[in-house]
Structure 1
Amino acid sequence: MIYAADGSAWAVRAYPLKDEHGKVVNVIDVCSDISEKIRLRAEADRNSRLASLGELAAGVAHEINNPNGLILLNTPMLRDVLIDALSLFADHYQQHGQLELGGLDYQELRDELPLMLQRIEGGAERIKRIVEDLKNFVRQGEVDLSDQLDLNEVVKAAIRMVDNSIKQATDHFEAVFGTLPRGQGDFQRIEQVVINLVQNACHALADRSAKIRLVTYYDAENKCNILQVNDEGSGIAPAALPHVTDPFYTTRRQSGGTGLGLSVSARIIREHGGQLEVQSTLGAGTVVTIKLPITKEGECA
């Protein structure tokens, strides 16, 4: 096998030509382009690995979710107990002077215990998000595309869901809604995609002066509804850009990214016959474009 300058792979077979005495007098070389065969084999291997990974992820998600649910269920009660206990600690400190529990004096109890509980809750919520990402990654099956879908209403609902994240990330958020024909699709799954894209945009911003802008419009030529999510964030490095929709690929590992959000989003859009495209300039921002056909049988170019 040899590789051409354009990256294509070629299989080479040599057939000797012999004379009447059995001596090789010539050779016929037959070259076949096997690039597609190699690509399909690699894709089959990758799908097989992902299927195995999906089974593992489903088991892990279940085993983690149950004990983490207990943490989330009980921390509000612990918070209430802590508030009452700190009041008692304060009274004791005023009446009797120094107080020490578990090796912590009163000042440390007052300052550190609320932070400890806050970190526990934050960690549990992070685990919950990771489990949800794993469950979404594993979730497969037929998508019901028979329902009427108003993309503008989906986007508005998603914005309401992440309103707090938007307010914490930027002072400059804008959503511009064009006139769209109704399409067909699953409202909640497309809402899940929009929520993920807006949250990614929020995480990408360096400060509150950077902008996030959402725009919807209708592409009459290709009969597709379009959503663009534009952020003025940190952007994506050119080397990373081709991998942003790969499962478990993330540039935010240290801040809690699982690398599943865009992968799941891209799959949902494909299930709807659409496309998810990412364009980015490092240091300048990112534009994610969703294209959704307005008919179940349609596909967006």
Structure 2
Amino acid sequence: MFSSFTLINELFDNIVIFNGDYSIIYCGNSIRSLLLQNKIDINHLNQIEIIRVSAGKLKENKYITFNFGRIKEDFVLFPYENQENFYAFGLKDKVMHIATIEHDLKERVKELESLYQISKDLDSPGEIKDILDAAINHIQQAFQFPADTIVNIEIGKNIYGITDWNPNDIYDLVESEIKPNGQKKGKIKVFSKNKTGLHKDANKYIDEVANKISRKIEQNEREKNLEKQQKILKAKNEILLRLGEECKQSREKLRAFFSAITNTIIVVDKDFNISMSNKDEIGDAGKCYNKLFGLNERCPECPTLESIRTCNSAVQERIIEDKYFQLNTYPIFGENGVVDSVLEVCMDVTMQKKMEEQLLQSYKLASLGKLVAGVAHEINNPNTFILGNLKIIQESFTDIFPLLDLYYQYHPDLKIARLDYKTFKENITILVEDMLTGANRTKKIVTDLRNFAKKDEGGLTENIDLNSIITNNLTFTQKHTKKYAKLEIELGSDIPIFKGNSNKLEQLLVNLILNASEAIECEGGLIKITTNFDKDTNNIILTVSDNGIGMPDNVKKNIFDPFFTTKRNKGGTGLGLSISYGIVKDHNGEIEVDSKVGQGTKFTIRIPVNKN
């Protein structure tokens, strides 16, 4: 850590240490040689007496000077602080030289500590007066006699610190100018009332403090100049903004009538370049097919081209990214009577189309409900007749077979329906049982169809067993899932009964299962339905998940919007999930979706059991 121990070696080489009995504990080589050269035996009683007398005076002094007589140089006796009642002595010049170095180091440490505190205060926010008052205190503590040190700092017309003192009490003075950016702004003065005066390096210390204060003033001036420039720029910016706003208002007034029309109106030339429009997002330049529809080439069967060719108005409907547009074009004639530009009116009729589709879908659903109810009734009547007759036939075998068995004993060649009697007897009961199974299955399907077609617009007044709703509707929903979509059910055992509307919940379940089925496009498809009860939140949790194609984020965020669908071309209306969302909300619940492209989709429904 240290490359040299010169001062320590010099000190111990020139001192003698002894205890309270004046027995020598340690003697340095140099002082031993000096004493031997002058024939001084410090163990002799005379020499010990000189040391003992000198040691007795140490109670009043930090050190005492004495002489052995034979040596011209004086010696210094001082207490050895590492051990009580131990003393040391050495040549005065050597010991005092090292003591002076120690004192100078301590003073320098005090100066460095003071500079550090002053720098810290100058870097901290606060009033300049408080900062300079703290700096004055740090400067005083940096000197040997703080109580006898007077400090004041002059900056401009302000003076900080002590200003009232008696000149006759002053024994020493140092000062340094405060010169930020090379311009004199003040000075620091330090006065000493102690006769020993100030440290020899006091000027350097005060100069360093003055430099730090100068830099702080420079920083404050830069900040003030910057703040001033910011205010000027802000004022100019406000003027520019005001002028810009005035120009904008003038333009808006000129275009107010044109822009008031809600439909997009543009004027294009024969090359389909826009020369005027009533929409800022379109502007007055660019190709019409690009600005209106985002296309990079002319629309097929372009109505603008038709108007130029026929000199008559034209109309066309276009579908761009699930949006419907109606484009009306009107020719504008030049002075020579030839069409030189075309006025295009573009109307977004998506909402109108969707409302028409919604109305049509409502009619379809209503008709389907009536049809299903009628078909179910028509199927149920003959099926009931078939079930009853099959049961009679099945019961009649008990009476018929004994008679046939007896007849067969005497007529072994007996055939019934071109079958040997044994073959007939073995298969007829199985055939009847299969017919009964089929008839009962038809009965179950009819029941499911009736439940599906049943309309109930009532409130949330029924006691709902969610697990029963799921199991009761499986037969119908399984018929509408794809053949390679496996349906897996995990129903919780602690699902409480709650108030709700069974028809609406059945519709919700069917919508979600059919939606999951549509997302599965290959073998290995799985649709999973689970129920459980969260006791902490009193929520019944229903999940319907699949391992289908999944959805990107831009689709997922819109799936509950009415009319939003990714299956428009396949007949999707975009109402299924919107209706499902409404059903969940009717039950004071929440529905959320988690989906990853290529991994699948999971719908989670939470229905509270204690909310009204």
Tell me whether 287-296 or 52-61 shows the greater mean CA deviation.
287-296
Provide the residue aligned with 1:251 in structure 2.
none
The one-letter code matched in structure 1 to 2:608 is: I
Matched residue SS, 1:13 = strand
Q: 1:179 to 1:131 in 2, by over 3 A?
A: closer
Q: Does 1:175 align with 2:491?
A: yes
8 Å contact from structure 1 (residues 226, 290) kept in 2: yes
Write the deviation string for residues 91-143 of structure 1: whole angstroms up to 9, x where unpaired.
Answer: 54456534323433212222221122123213322332332243234322313
**Higher RCO by CA contacts (8 Å cutoff, separation 6 or greater):** 1
How far apart, in 1, do the equivalents of 2:501 and 2:404 lie?
54
8 Å contact from structure 2 (residues 327, 346) kept in 1: yes
How far apart, in 1, do the equivalents of 2:391 and 2:491 lie?
36
Provide the residue aligned with 1:154 in structure 2.
466
Q: CA deviation at 1:69?
A: 1.0
Q: Does 1:42 align with 2:374?
A: no
Structure with bigger gyration radius: 2
Q: Does 1:72 align with 2:387?
A: yes
Write the deviation string for residues 186-242 of structure 1: whole angstroms up to 9, x where unpaired.
Answer: 3587579879999xxxxxxxxxxx997633255999x964313569xxx8799xx96
The one-letter code matched in structure 1 to 2:531 is: V
Provide the residue aligned with 2:347 in structure 1.
32
Q: Residue 445 of structure 2 is aligned with which of 127, 130, 143?
A: 130
8 Å contact from structure 1 (residues 219, 226) kept in 2: no
Q: CA deviation at 1:277?
A: 8.4
1:168-207, aligned counterparts within 5 Å?
174-176=490-492, 183-186=498-501, 190=505
CA RMSD of aligned residues (A): 5.4
Provide the residue aligned with 2:310 in structure 1.
none
The one-letter code matched in structure 2 to 1:48 is: Y
Matched residue SS, 1:27 = strand
The one-letter code matched in structure 2 to 1:58 is: A
How far apart, in 1, do the equivalents of 2:504 and 2:390 lie?
31
Tell me whether 136-145 or 95-104 shows the greater mean CA deviation.
95-104
Matched residue SS, 2:542 = strand
Provide the residue aligned with 2:530 in structure 1.
214
Q: Residue 109 of structure 1 is aligned with which of 424, 432, 449?
A: 424
How far apart, in 2, do the equivalents of 1:211 and 1:30 lie?
48
TM-score under structure 2 normalisation? 0.32
Q: 1:39 to 1:81 in 2, by over 3 A?
A: same
Write the deviation string for residues 40-67 of structure 1: whole angstroms up to 9, x where unpaired.
Answer: 2122223223323333333332222112
Provide the residue aligned with 2:323 in structure 1.
8
1:217-228, aligned counterparts within 5 Å?
217=533, 225-228=540-543
8 Å contact from structure 1 (residues 213, 229) kept in 2: yes
Q: 1:194 to 1:121 in 2, by over 3 A?
A: farther
8 Å contact from structure 1 (residues 12, 29) kept in 2: yes
How far apart, in 2, do the equivalents of 1:15 and 1:56 lie?
48
Q: Residue 82 of structure 1 is aligned with which of 393, 397, 400?
A: 397
Quote the sequence identity (%): 24
Q: 1:173 to 1:179 in 2, by over 3 A?
A: closer
The one-letter code matched in structure 2 to 1:142 is: E
> Could you list the runs of 5+ residues in structure 2 that have no partner in the other structure?
1-316, 475-485, 514-525, 551-565
The one-letter code matched in structure 1 to 2:541 is: I
How far apart, in 2, do the equivalents of 1:53 and 1:173 lie?
29
How far apart, in 1, do the equivalents of 2:444 and 2:602 lie?
22
How far apart, in 2, do the equivalents of 1:71 and 1:15 lie?
69
Provide the residue aligned with 1:294 in structure 2.
608
Q: CA deviation at 1:185?
A: 0.4
8 Å contact from structure 1 (residues 269, 292) kept in 2: no
Q: Residue 139 of structure 1 is aligned with which of 430, 434, 454?
A: 454
How far apart, in 1, do the equivalents of 2:318 and 2:512 lie?
41
How far apart, in 1, do the equivalents of 2:531 and 2:355 lie?
36
Count of residue pairs the alignment pairs up: 250
Write the deviation string for residues 133-155 of structure 1: whole angstroms up to 9, x where unpaired.
Answer: 43234322313313454xxx531
The one-letter code matched in structure 2 to 1:14 is: T
> Could you list the runs of 5+ residues in structure 1 that have no partner in the other structure?
163-169, 199-209, 248-263
Q: CA deviation at 1:291?
A: 2.6
8 Å contact from structure 1 (residues 61, 131) kept in 2: yes
The one-letter code matched in structure 2 to 1:215 is: T
How far apart, in 1, do the equivalents of 2:372 and 2:433 lie?
28
Q: 1:52 to 1:128 in 2, by over 3 A?
A: same
How far apart, in 1, do the equivalents of 2:529 and 2:444 lie?
25
TM-score under structure 1 normalisation? 0.57
8 Å contact from structure 1 (residues 155, 191) kept in 2: no
How far apart, in 2, do the equivalents of 1:61 and 1:278 lie?
38
